[in-house]
């Protein structure tokens, strides 16, 4: 089994992209299991084969602990780690070629909590890869780009998986997407945009972070995609295939 984790900030397009990924691998003849790790989601745009909501029930958490929706969501996300063994056992029983794992919007689960790496390494997969999504609607300034790139690296640091970066929703803001892609390809154009857009301490800080990412070879190459028009998806699938192969090389 190969496992692909779809990770990104809340609303960045994880679930819709996970549905397109399912369609892609199914069309290429593979057996796919879609795994939902988001206990708070109501509707999913794909058929879910393994669902954390069968193990963590947010409505009963609200009732039992007298919590509102936000408090219940925080508690539900904490409970995901304690139930993950059951979730992965179900995925193992399905035994797909690909498990596509849609993750919760609370990205701190993977970026900061101790349970993130535990969740990610628990699945019985031969190879793992991560698709990290930059929300096309958030990457609207060079400082935001740097900030999300740093978050992407925090997640990579924790999950230690080959990672591809996608810029989502490019159909909604095509010219901003072009700009963000040019920043991802050329650190000096990003540095120039930072200098035009900010000053003082915030310019110093964002420039220092960019320098750190760039000198470590970490400035991410991002593939612009739209899950609505399909733009860029073929390129993303190709990068994902390379990332999964990279995992195989590491294992060998």
Which residues are near ligand GTP by CB under 6 A? Answer: 8, 10-16, 38, 41, 105, 168-169, 171-172, 226-228
The residue among 41 and 56 lying less far from ligand GTP, judged by its C-beta, is: 41
- Round to whole Å and give the CA distance between 45 and 39: 15
- Round to whole Å and give the CA distance between 119 and 107: 13
Distances (CA, A) of 106 to 40, 43, 80, 102, 116: 10, 17, 12, 12, 11
Could you tell me how many residues of this chain bind Mg ion (CB under 5 A)?
2
Residue 34 binds to Mg ion (criterion: CB under 5 A): no
The residue among 15 and 239 lying less far from ligand GTP, judged by its C-beta, is: 15
Asked whether the beta carbons of 172 and 46 are under 8 A apart, the reply is no
The residue among 57 and 197 lying less far from ligand GTP, judged by its C-beta, is: 57
Q: CB of residue 106 vs ligand GTP: minimum separation in angstroms?
A: 8
φ/ψ of 8, rounded to 5, equals 175, 170
According to DSSP, the β-strands at 127-134 and 163-167 are parallel
Residue 15 binds to Mg ion (criterion: CB under 5 A): yes
Give the residue among 89, 83, 74, 5 at the shortest CA–CA distance from 40.
74
Residue 223 binds to Mg ion (criterion: CB under 5 A): no
Distances (CA, A) of 171 to 83, 136, 221, 226, 228: 37, 9, 19, 6, 8
172 binds, among Mg ion, ligand GTP, none (CB under 5 to 8 A by kind): ligand GTP
Sheet holding 98-102, edge to edge: 50-51, 32-36, 98-102, 2-8, 127-134, 163-167, 222-224
Q: CB of residue 27 vs ligand GTP: minimum separation in angstroms?
A: 19
Q: CB of residue 2 vs ligand GTP: minimum separation in angstroms?
A: 21
The residue among 53 and 169 lying less far from ligand GTP, judged by its C-beta, is: 169
Closest residue (Cβ) to Mg ion? 15
206 binds, among Mg ion, ligand GTP, none (CB under 5 to 8 A by kind): none
**Piece in contact with Mg ion (CB under 5 A), picked from 9-17, 22-30, 67-75, 140-148:** 9-17
Per the document, the length of the chain is 252
Between the two ends of the chain, the Cα-to-Cα distance in Å is 16
226 binds, among Mg ion, ligand GTP, none (CB under 5 to 8 A by kind): ligand GTP
Q: CB of residue 135 vs ligand GTP: minimum separation in angstroms?
A: 8
Residue 226 binds to Mg ion (criterion: CB under 5 A): no
94 binds, among Mg ion, ligand GTP, none (CB under 5 to 8 A by kind): none
Residues that bind Mg ion (CB under 5 A): 14-15
């Amino acid at each position: 089994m190969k496992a692909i984790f779809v990770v990104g900030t809340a609303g960045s397009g994880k679930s819709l992209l996970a549905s397109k990924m399912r369609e892609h691998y199914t069309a290429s003849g593979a057996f796919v299991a879609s795994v939902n790790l988001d206990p708070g989601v109501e509707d999913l745009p794909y058929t879910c084969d393994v669902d954390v909501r069968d193990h963590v029930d947010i409505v009963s958490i609200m009732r039992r602990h007298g919590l509102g929706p936000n408090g219940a969501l925080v508690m539900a996300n904490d409970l995901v780690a304690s139930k993950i063994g059951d979730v992965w056992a179900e995925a193992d029983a399905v035994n797909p070629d690909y498990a596509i794992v849609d993750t919760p919007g609370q990205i701190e689960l993977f970026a900061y909590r101790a349970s993130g790496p535990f969740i990610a390494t628990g699945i019985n997969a031969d190879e793992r890869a991560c698709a990290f999504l930059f929300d096309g609607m958030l990457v609207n300034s060079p400082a935001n780009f740097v900030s999300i790139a740093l978050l992407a690296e925090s997640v990579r640091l924790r999950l230690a998986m080959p990672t591809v970066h996608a810029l989502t929703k490019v159909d909604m803001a095509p010219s901003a997407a072009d700009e963000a892609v040019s920043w991802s390809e050329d650190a000096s154009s990003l540095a120039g945009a930072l200098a035009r857009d900010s000053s003082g301490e915030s310019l110093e800080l964002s420039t220092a972070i960019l320098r750190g990412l760039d000198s470590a070879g970490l400035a991410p190459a991002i593939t612009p995609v739209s899950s609505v028009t399909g733009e860029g998806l073929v390129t993303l699938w190709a990068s994902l295939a390379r990332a999964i192969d990279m995992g195989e090389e590491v294992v060998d």
